[in-house]
Chains A and B, each alone.
Chain A
Amino acid sequence: EVQLVQSGAEVKKPGESLRISCQGSGYSFTNYWIAWVRQMPGKGLEWMGRIDPSESKTKYSPSFQGHVTISADRSINTAYLQWSSLQASDTAMYYCARSLGGFSTGYHFDHWGQGNLVTVSS
């Protein structure tokens, strides 16, 4: 069974750093890309970026470029989303999702993690 299991909820203060994770199982981790999707409270879905774990190549949305870092450790089938300095506006649910690569933008997201709720408050 394909699973993407995300790390737990986080409560942080503005200016703090954070790394959340997404561990894949039940499939060949390097055969699929992992994307991160933000959902702010009561709002819609926003694609943040993705990584090809086989080469650690990344692509970011301009809206998130420079504010977050996506990485992966294929030895433990895990992708990461990282902030060096959180802001209150980063409060949101963050989902990881997998897609096949194969052409420039990849394909649809066929499996999703359960989500990481990140709360940033002083």
Chain B
Amino acid sequence: DIQMTQSPSTLSASVGDRVTITCRASQSVNSWLAWYQQKPGNAPKLLIYQASSLESGVPSRFSGSVSGTEFTLTISSLQPQDFATYYCQQYSYYPLTFGGGTKVEIK
């Protein structure tokens, strides 16, 4: 199985901060990677697909990038509604696998 290693597992930040979350794949998944946001009691929501494509309706402060097997989700200016848990997911190989999650907390 392809392992997706997310870091950090928890991140404390303030409104207005620039936030970066990293996801490293154990082998190449090309650009077949998505990022999801999950708030407590809710289903995950797609933010980014194919490593850097912004899902329709998602604010432009969210962006994704890739360098080799390292993927990055950036929130350019953290808003109150962005405090949540974020997951990466590869869909290049079976079984599809998720990262362990990054919880973004209020500092």
Question: Interface residues, chain A, CB within 8 Å of chain B?
Answer: 35, 37, 44-47, 59, 61-63, 95, 97, 99, 104-115
The B contact surface, by secondary structure, is loop
Chain B residue contacts of A104, Cβ below 8 A: 94
Find the B residue at minimum CB distance from A45: B98
Q: Is the CB of A113 within 8 A of B43?
A: yes
Contact between A106 and B91, CB atoms less than 8 A apart = yes
Contact B34 A115 (CB under 8 A): no
> Residue of A at shortest CB range from B43?
A112
Which residues from A are CB-within-8-Å of B43? 95, 112-115
Residues of B within 8 A of A114 (CB): 43
Contact B46 A108 (CB under 8 A): yes
Is B62 on the interface with A (CB-CB < 8 A)?
A: no
Closest chain B residue to A93, Cβ basis: B43
B92: chain A residues at CB < 8 Å are 105
Q: Does B50 contact A (CB under 8 A)?
A: yes
Partner of B100, one of A44, A62, A111, A113: A44
> Contact between A47 and B98 (Cβ–Cβ < 8 Å)?
yes
CB-nearest residue of chain A relative to B101? A44
Q: Are A47 and B95 in contact (CB under 8 A)?
A: yes
Q: Hey, which bits of chain B sit against chain A, CB under 8 A?
A: 32, 34, 36, 38, 43-46, 49-50, 55, 87, 89, 91-101
Q: Are A105 and B96 in contact (CB under 8 A)?
A: yes
Cβ contacts under 8 Å, A99 to chain B: 91
Known A46-B98, A109-B34, A110-B55: A95·B91 in contact at CB below 8 Å: no
With contacts A105-B32, A113-B43 taken as known, whether A44 is within 8 angstroms of B87 at the C-beta atoms is: yes
In the complex, what distance in Å separates the CA atom of A46 from the CA atom of B46?
A: 16
Distance between Cα atoms of A61 and B91 in the complex (Å): 13
Q: 11 A–B contact pairs at CB < 8 A?
A: A47-B95, A47-B96, A47-B97, A95-B43, A97-B44, A107-B91, A108-B46, A109-B36, A112-B44, A112-B45, A113-B43
Which of chain B's residues has its CB closest to A110's CB? B46
Given A95-B44, A112-B45, A44:B34 Cβ within 8 A: no
Contact A107 B87 (CB under 8 A): no
